[in-house]
Amino acid sequence: MIPLLKGRYTARFAETRPDIEAAQRLRYLAFIVGSGVQGAGLREDGLEADDFDALCRHVLIEERKTGRLVCTYRFLDLAGGAEIAQSYSAQFYGLDGLADFEGRMLEMGRFCIHPEARDPDILRVAWGAMTRYVDEQEIALLFGCSSFHGTEWKDHADALAMLKHRHLGPKRFLPKVKAPNVFKFAARLRRKPDARRAMLKMPPLLKTYLMMGGWVSDHAVVDRDLGTMHVFTGVEINAIPPARKKLLRAVAG
């Protein structure tokens, strides 16, 4: 996988320390500055970084003409469910239900687009690059944490209610509560979601997961350091609708 050249953009792996720092700088702009986070998330060096950066591959989506970084994400490649405890998500969710999963797994995280970038092709190229890797490496499960901006569940009530009614994961895989601060939306929300408001509030990355047949945990984890609430999200590659696979592979090709 990568480089992937599509239209105005190119997708490639980070190869040097400056490449990774560029990704961390964009993450800081998107997750810290853009969210108005105060406290633990603030750093003098202007980088959003953690220990998992050294374990992951980092993908950069750049403008071909200017070289400007417009999108980044990272992924952790796992041989199977026996390695799930090594994932970033395992810090927040009890993932014992996935420990017996057979097949390679890919954890996708720290996905962000430059706040000033509005071109929908950026997201398409990002997913095209991921699709190429998933196909080449025969990944069976794509997973990660999908974040809502803000830590008040009422701001996301319709979206969370829609997740409860339409997108909860299989019982055998459903993550258990592990983090100290969670909102158990599947148990607490009784409302019927307003579909229009729900989709307006649904994060773009999570929308894409759901269009691929993705499923979520029954609770959201509140991350006050990043000013977000996130849900565990899984996509079983064999369950992606054929029409969606065709669209993704058209971009990846």
pLDDT tens digits along 134-167:
999 999 999 999 999 889 999 999 999 999 999 9
> Rounded to whole angstroms, how far apart are CA atoms 138 and 144?
18
Residue 238: is it exposed, middle or buried by C-beta count within 10 angstroms (0-12/13-18/19+)?
exposed
pLDDT tens digits along 60-88:
999 999 999 999 999 999 999 999 999 99
Q: What's the confidence (pLDDT) of residue 18?
A: 97
> Distances in Å between the alpha carbon of 201 and those of 116, 157, 160, 198?
19, 9, 9, 5
- Other C-beta atoms closer than 10 Å to the C-beta of 228 total 21
Q: What's the confidence (pLDDT) of residue 36?
A: 60
Q: What's the confidence (pLDDT) of residue 42?
A: 57
Q: What's the confidence (pLDDT) of residue 45?
A: 81
> Rounded to whole angstroms, how far apart are CA atoms 8 and 132?
18
Question: What value, to the nearest 5°, has the Cα angle with vertex 35 and ends 34 and 36?
Answer: 95
Cβ-contact 12, 3 below 8 angstroms: yes
Cβ-contact 6, 125 below 8 angstroms: yes
Cβ-contact 56, 11 below 8 angstroms: no
Residue 182: is it exposed, middle or buried by C-beta count within 10 angstroms (0-12/13-18/19+)?
middle
Low-confidence ranges of the chain (pLDDT < 70): 1-2, 34-43
Q: Residue 182: which of 153, 219, 155 has the closest Cα? A: 219
Q: What's the confidence (pLDDT) of residue 38?
A: 53
Enter the tokens of residue 97: 């239900």
